[in-house]
Amino acid sequence: MSKTPVEKREFASLEDKFEFYRQHRDLLREEFPADRFLCYIVSLLSPLPAYVRGDEIYILRYGFGITLQDLVKMRTFPPKVIKGLWRAVDNMQEGMSVERMFSKVFFYGNDLMIKNGVLCPRPETELVVEQVIDRVQKADKKKAHLKSLYPKSSEPYFYMPKSEWSVPNPAVPYVLDLCTGSGCIGVSVAKACPYAYVTLSDISLKAIDNARCNIHLLNVGWNTRINRAGDMFDKIEGRFDVIVCNPPYIESGDIASLSPQVLDYDPISALDGGEDGLTFYKRIASSAVHYLRQGGVVVMEIGYNQAKSVRKIFEDSGYEVEAISDYGGNDRIIIATPKEYEEDNI
Asked if pLDDT for residue 200 goes beyond 90, the answer is yes
Indicate whether 280 and 212 sit together in one domain.
Answer: yes
Same structural domain, 63 and 146: no
- 75 in the same domain as 13: yes
- 274 and 131 fall within a common domain: yes
pLDDT higher than threshold 60 for residue 157: no
One domain, residues 87 and 195: no
Express as a percent the part of the chain with pLDDT over 90.
Answer: 70
170 touches 202 (CB < 8 A): no
Over the range 44-74, which residues count as b (16 or more CB within 10 Å of their CB) and which as e?
Answer: bbeeeeeebebebebbbbbbeebeeeebeeb
Residues 203 and 59 in one domain: no
Q: Is residue 120 part of a domain?
A: no
For residue 272, the 8-state DSSP code is B
Asked whether residue 177 falls in the same domain as residue 236, the answer is yes
Residue 346 reports pLDDT greater than 60? no
The pLDDT tens digits for 296-317 are 999 999 999 999 999 999 999 9
pLDDT at 139: 84
Residue 119 belongs to a domain: no
> What's the pLDDT at 197?
93
Looking at the fold, whether 33 and 77 belong to one and the same domain comes out as: yes
pLDDT for res 159: 46
Whether residues 69 and 218 share a domain: the answer is: no
| Residue 168 confidence (pLDDT) | 77
Q: Please state, as a whole number, how many other Cβ atoms lie within 10 Å of the Cβ of residue 316.
A: 10
Would 344 be classed as within a structural domain? no
Could you give the 3-state DSSP secondary structure of residue 26? helix
| Nearest partner of 174 among 149, 193, 188, 202, judged by Cα | 193
Mean pLDDT of the chain: 89
Q: Residue 331: what pLDDT?
A: 97
**Mean predicted confidence (pLDDT) in 108-118:** 95
Beta strands in 246-318 (DSSP E): 292-301
Structural domain includes residue 107: no
Mean pLDDT of 156-175: 67
Contacts of 192 (CB under 8 A, 6+ apart): 108, 129, 133
Pairing assessment for the beta strands 197-202 and 224-228 based on DSSP bridges: parallel
pLDDT reported for residue 155: 41
State pLDDT tens for residues 29-68: 999 999 999 999 999 998 887 766 667 888 998 889 999 8
Look at residue 146 in the predicted model and tell me its pLDDT: 64
Domain that includes residue 140, residue range: 125-338
Q: Do residues 241 and 193 lie in contact, with contact meaning Cβ atoms separated by under 8 Å?
A: no
Same domain (yes/no): 188, 44:
no
The tens digit of pLDDT for each residue in 206-241 reads: 999 999 999 999 999 989 999 877 678 988 988 999
Assign residue 122 a region: left if phi > 0, alpha if psi is -120 to 50, beta otherwise? beta
Q: Is pLDDT at 87 greater than 60 in this prediction? A: yes
Of the residues 102, 137, 154, the one at which a domain ends: 102
Whether 85 and 148 map to the same domain: the answer is no
**Angle at Cα 164 formed by Cα 163 and Cα 170, nearest 5°?**
160
Of the three residues 87, 102, 117, the one that is the final residue of a domain is 102
- 114 CB-near residues (< 8 Å, 6+ apart): 99, 100, 103, 104, 105, 120, 121, 182, 210
Q: Give per-residue pLDDT as tens, 232-288.
A: 898 898 899 999 999 999 999 999 999 888 888 999 999 999 999 999 999 999 999
- In this structure, are 146 and 293 located in the same domain? yes
Q: What is the pLDDT of residue 57?
A: 85
pLDDT at 158: 43
Query: pTM higher than 0.95, yes or no?
Result: no
Number of domains in the chain: 2
More confident residue, 32 or 10: 32
- Least confidently predicted of 56-65, 70-79, 320-329: 56-65
Query: Would 63 be classed as within a structural domain?
Result: yes
